[in-house]
Amino acid sequence: MKKISLLFALLPLLALAQESTEGTMSMSNWLGIWDNLETTPAFNIQAIGYNDIPRDVFYRGIIVECLEFDDANGHNILILTQTGMFPVSEKNEIGAYEKVGDRAEINAYLFARSDEKSNYKSIWKVTDFQGCNDFDLYAGFTKKSLSVTDVNADGVAEVSFQYTLSCRSDVSPADRKLYCFNSNEKFIFLGVTTLEGMSTDEPTIEAKTEIPSSIKELMQRKWLRYEEDAFGQFNYLEK
């Protein structure tokens, strides 16, 4: 019931977030995280609503983007969520709870099933957070940074997205992370957002295996495209 009431609170934002996408497969039903111009038509990617999410799919947070698509893994459900800022409390020495700071979280999930008779299984998930105390707190996905592609032509979708984490009291860079999954294979670019006049530093790369050249080129292109810092929580409605 609590999740539904939070969704209703977002409905005005969801309506405004829909942008004209003539000639594309679908438009975002949520806060515009999906770049539906960079997509693979063969995957039949569609934005879906809350009521279209199967009941055997579990997630935490408020949905900011939700897609379904078909690839070699079967039928997929992709969900991105954020919490916004919430207080964190701990018991003090007399056993009473007191606030010790604030926290904001992001989550990303991919579920798949092989056929209509099967249950959805978790393929991967990302959970991250930023703690803060008395400063400006942000944890959120970058607008238009989500794409579902097949640049290495293996029939399995690459899902890539960027998010930022920050706790700051001045105009300074935020931590940013760019993920790319190919099935359950994970590649990560780590670095910071850029400010006016700053050069873009090369990201630190985390990967258990060597990144295929086609996927690395995709990530490098996105790293440069989404380098700027918008300094705002849930600021997806800005042009």
The predicted structure's pLDDT at residue 98: 81
Tokens of 12: 């005005």
The predicted structure's pLDDT at residue 42: 84
Low-confidence ranges of the chain (pLDDT < 70): 1-29, 197, 230-239
Where do we find the tokens 């209509």? 116
Residues 6+ apart with CB under 8 A from 168: 135, 136, 174
pTM: 0.82
Distance CA 170, CA 158 (A): 36
Q: Quick one: which H or E segment has residue 5?
A: helix 2-17
Residues 6+ apart with CB under 8 A from 212: 152, 182
Half-sphere exposure of 101 (CA within 13 A, CB side): 10
Distance CA 69, CA 147 (A): 12
The predicted structure's pLDDT at residue 72: 94
The predicted structure's pLDDT at residue 97: 85
The predicted structure's pLDDT at residue 131: 95
Judging by beta carbons within 10 Å of its beta carbon (0-12, 13-18, 19+), is residue 115 exposed, middle or buried? Answer: exposed
Distance CA 232, CA 139 (A): 10
The predicted structure's pLDDT at residue 22: 34
Distance CA 32, CA 52 (A): 18
- Find out whether 30 and 64 touch, Cβ atoms under 8 Å: yes
Where do we find the tokens 């440069």? 224
The predicted structure's pLDDT at residue 231: 62
